[in-house]
């Protein structure tokens, strides 16, 4: 769950990346299914919002990065940390930091 203070700004940003939410269980909350057993939930109903971070594993990091760039989302270059490839968004408009990764056992960016 990602707590946000400005639901409208957050919903616009995440919808540009993920499309329309799969679920909107209540006012101020939206959910996207990002994998078979993984959901990303925005929640503007919390009393306190603190900066947070999320790490998401993907099968094809290069394709993920390209899709983010095509959605107008600034994302860093792919970095090879020997055991993992990663790229990051510095910060979303809602102060949430994201990092995407892929195991680099075969040292390929895909």
- DSSP 3-state of 15: helix
pLDDT at 11: 93
Q: Using pLDDT thresholds of 50, 70 and 90, give the confidence band for residue 104.
A: low
pLDDT at 22: 97
H or E segment at 34? strand 29-35
Cα 11 from Cα 88, distance rounded (Å)? 20
pLDDT at 24: 95
Is the alpha carbon torsion for 46, 29, 60, 97 positive or negative? Answer: negative
Q: What digits encode the pLDDT tens for the residues 31-78?
A: 999 888 889 999 998 787 777 888 888 888 889 889 888 888 888 888
pLDDT at 35: 85
Pick from 59, 104, 98, 63: nearest CA to 84? 104
* Residue 37 structure tokens: 């057993």
User: At which residue do the structure tokens 């990303």 appear?
Assistant: 40
pLDDT at 5: 86
DSSP label of 71: T
Regarding predicted confidence, which is higher, 67 or 110? 67
User: At which residue do the structure tokens 């603190």 appear?
Assistant: 50
Cα 54 from Cα 97, distance rounded (Å)? 6
């Amino acid at each position: 769950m990602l707590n946000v203070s400005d639901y409208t700004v957050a919903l616009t940003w995440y919808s540009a990346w993920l499309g329309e939410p799969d679920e909107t269980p209540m006012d101020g909350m939206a959910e996207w299914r990002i994998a078979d057993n993984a959901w990303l939930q925005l929640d503007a109903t919390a009393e306190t919002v603190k900066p947070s971070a999320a790490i998401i594993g993907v099968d094809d990091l290069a394709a993920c990065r390209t899709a983010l760039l095509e959605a107008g989302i600034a994302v860093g270059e792919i970095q090879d940390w020997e055991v993992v490839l990663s790229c990051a968004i510095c910060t979303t408009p809602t102060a949430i930091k994201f990092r995407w990764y892929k195991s680099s056992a075969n040292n390929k960016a895909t």
